[in-house]
Each structure stands twice: as structure tokens, then as C-alpha cells.
Amino acid sequence: MALPIVQTGHPVLRTVAQLLTREQILSVEIQSLIEEMRETMRAAPGVGLAAPQVGQSIQVVVIEDDAGLKTNMSQEALDARERVPVPFHVLVNPVLEAQGDEIIDFFEGCLSVNGYAALTPRHRTVKVTALNEFGEEFTTNASGWYARILQHEVDHLNGLLYIDRMKTTSFTTMSNKVQYWD
């Protein structure tokens, strides 16, 4: 069952989400929430979803990117974004660390700022340590679009939206982005 996605202005999006214990992660409630978040992300459609976006102030993120199959993005555009398929996975209590100083600007949108996009600077490469849906610790190194997704979703857990980082003069509706920027 797809959950409603809260929109900017809702206080849960501006709150630092609570950490979860391994026992909480393994609970029926959190396991059900993870599955509902997966369904919600896919239905939206999106490439990532954080628990605050569905009204839950806890540190849970789901990510899955088919690398543009749901969009009509050209191979050239995919390559420019370093966008490759990322299988479904869960991050709980993620800690993100930028790797290097390289910053890349691309348009971002957000399911909680529906209908808009803006150029948003992000680190090209990051390292994230988190727990998975089984409460097991793992570390992932990411670059390109996957690194962007991770930064965007971890921001949600810290009460931030891409509009806090965007280049304000690029803020546009999705339809104008397609018409004038793509």
C-alpha cells in the first residue's frame, strides 16, 4: 500500500529524525514501514524515499534507481550524471562523509516539493555507513548520481530539503525545466 507523501511546510520535514535500535529495526512495525516505503517510492515514482517524507520522524531510507528506464533520458544524459542502476536497499541511521572536494551541479526534484526542480550542488563522491533492514552494519562508497541520491535522502533525516542547498535562480517548475533546461 502506497503511503501519502508529505509536502514542504509539514514540520516533520524540518525535524532531525530519531535513530533506531537494532530491535526497533527488526520490529514488525518498522519492517512493514520499509515495505510500504518501497511501494510508495516505486509508485511515485522516485529513486529514494526517507521516512520523514511519509510522516515518520525516524532514520530510515529506501533507495532504488533503474538508471533512467522510467524516464526518457538519453545515454548521453545518463553518462553525464554518472547514473547507473542501483538495486533496492535500505539504510538505517546513515552517517555520510564527503570524499574529496569535487562538487557537481545537476537539477534535483523531490517527492516532498512536488512539481519543482533546481540546480543543486552535491559532492561527487561520498561514503556512507549505515545499518540495513536486518540491523547489520555496512559501508558503501558512491559517486555520481548514486552519491547525489544518498546526500538528498540523508538530508531528509537531518531536516533539510534540496531547496536549502539549491541555486535559487534555477528554481523552476518541472514543465519549464523540460522545456527550457533539458
Residues with catalytic roles: 153
CA distance 45 to 62: 13
CA-CA distances (angstroms) from residue 173 to 4, 161, 178? 21, 16, 9
CA distance 23 to 19: 12
Please report the sign of the dihedral spanned by the C-alpha atoms of residue 174, residue 176, residue 179, residue 182. Answer: negative
DSSP string, 134-157: TS-EEEEEEEHHHHHHHHHHHHHH
**How many helices and strands (H and E) does the chain possess?**
5, 8
Q: Is 9 exposed, middle or buried (0-12, 13-18, 19+ CB in 10 A)?
A: exposed
CA distance 38 to 112: 16
